[in-house]
A and B are shown apart, each in its own frame.
Chain A
């Protein structure tokens, strides 16, 4: 700390040598460099959703599961005994598992208590996930309430600076919703293809990537599968790919990870 004297947000000449960042970037970032041989080992992926059925064969077990509930004005986080109250969280977990079979999956359930207070639960769940320091958090949900936007924005920035990657599904309706619109998260919409390893970088944000999200068979609570469509299934594809990249290249910041996803997208020349 002594070499980083005040002011905190500037860099004194003598401090330059102290902030060398070791990196070994290839001449060209390719998909082979990014993910080949990776199974997502050592990476913690959190599914912030309706809970996850950890016993589902396509989910293959959970490392942890908590439920967020409202206690008056406060949110409470407790071990989750209920599993998946809808089926949707299980679907997202199954998509991540299929891409990154070696990752550790965690469930933070923020649904199941009705619409009232749902914004508070999403905020409480996200705060918890960031405090836990998960590498990747999948958010296949959004809120339209503006009073949550500022708090969500602060949380998304905290996640970005501490190295937690937030992957959020974009809204395909003409309304403002959050957190997918924030530049500190990775936002994902759907393409119509059937290949889970095809993803596109969008040159016209706010949606930054398109991944598979139409007519795909996903795990659902009860042990079976369902055929589903929605941007909420595109996001876990990018979450799973992020786990592969972070497993092979640990320590990448969200900014670097987003760049790797961009450079290896199907339409940017990084794909085989």
Chain B
């Protein structure tokens, strides 16, 4: 380990797969989960440890496009119980529970009839909750479905883990001082902006640096 900043690492960090790329992975997980269970909606919640809140990270079906980013306290309702106890839970006939219905309606505008919720675990950490809402009414639940649900949860947990790691790495590089962070910022900007201008500038910079390199 030297004190010299590693510009190659910084450049790689600045070009980390985009937020959109990780979101697409989570979106695919909830889309497939919803399709497999023939459910009306599926969602992934991320636990924000700083505020102790659950945040909608991906939604398929009912609420799609509106709920992402919405937050609620991490001890709320069934998702909160699943998060804290690390135990999967399947509940039907939710409308019989007036408190749940009110909380859910206020938070999402949609009151589910039944839901399956499973914690998203990586090693010893809980990252969030996967929820599948409203399977067809006439289907009873089997342990094979629970196994399937936990398989999806593992996939969602990996997706959420990647998303969080990338966010942390980007935050560290964006807020960092010194040349390595600057290189990372430039790399990030190049990823997002006009490739032609950026490319020309980079070519010129590289040529200049090669010319001046001590022999």
Contacts and interface: CB of A to CB of B under 8 A. Distances in A.
Interface of A: 50, 85-88, 111-116, 118, 140-146, 169, 171-177, 190, 192, 214-215, 220-222, 224-232
Given A145-B124, A175-B86, A229-B89, 16 more contacts: A87-B97, A114-B73, A141-B87, A143-B86, A172-B150, A173-B88, A173-B119, A173-B121, A175-B124, A222-B96, A222-B97, A226-B93, A226-B94, A226-B97, A229-B90, A230-B87
Interface in B109-138: 114, 118-119, 121, 123-126
Contacts of B91: 226-228
Interface string B93-107: 110111110000000
Contact of B126 (A144, A176, A232): A144
Shortest beta-carbon contacts, A-B, top 6:
A141-B85, A229-B90, A224-B96, A227-B92, A114-B52, A86-B81
A145 B85 CA distance: 11
Contacts of A85: 75
A62 B178 CA distance: 63
Q: Name, among B84, B146, B147, the residue most crowded by chain A CB atoms within 10 Å (CB to CB).
A: B84
A88 B141 contact: no
Contacts of A115: 47, 49, 52, 74-75, 80, 83-84, 126
B154 interface: yes
B97 A220 contact: yes
B124 A232 contact: no
B196 to A, nearest CB: 48
5 contacts: A115-B84, A140-B87, A144-B123, A146-B124, A171-B87
A144 B86 CA distance: 7
Nearest to A84: B99
Q: Name, among B86, B87, B121, B141, the residue most crowded by chain A CB atoms within 10 Å (CB to CB).
A: B87
Q: Name, among A86, A171, A225, A227, the residue most crowded by chain B CB atoms within 10 Å (CB to CB).
A: A86
B85 A215 contact: no
B: contact size bracket: 35 or more
Contacts of B118: 173
B192 interface: no
B78 interface: yes
Contacts of A140: 85, 87
A50 B92 contact: no
Contacts of B207: none
Interface of B: 47, 49, 52, 73-75, 77-78, 80-81, 83-94, 96-100, 114, 118-119, 121, 123-126, 140-143, 146-147, 150, 153-154
Given A172-B150, A226-B92, A50 B81 contact: yes
B96 A225 contact: yes
A192 B92 CA distance: 17
Given A88-B81, A144-B124, A214-B142, A172 B97 contact: no
A169 B98 CA distance: 27
Contacts of A190: 143
A169 B93 CA distance: 23
B2 to A, nearest CB: 34
Contacts of B47: 115
Nearest to A147: B124
Nearest to B78: A86
A142 to B, nearest CB: 5
B63 to A, nearest CB: 22
Contacts of A220: 96-97
Contacts of B77: 86
A100 to B, nearest CB: 23
B44 to A, nearest CB: 16
A116 B87 contact: no
Contacts of A171: 86-87
Contacts of B147: 172
A112 B75 CA distance: 5
B49 to A, nearest CB: 7
Nearest to B75: A114
Given A172-B146, A228-B89, A111 B84 contact: yes
B75 A228 contact: no
Given A86-B80, A116-B52, A222-B98, A142 B92 contact: no
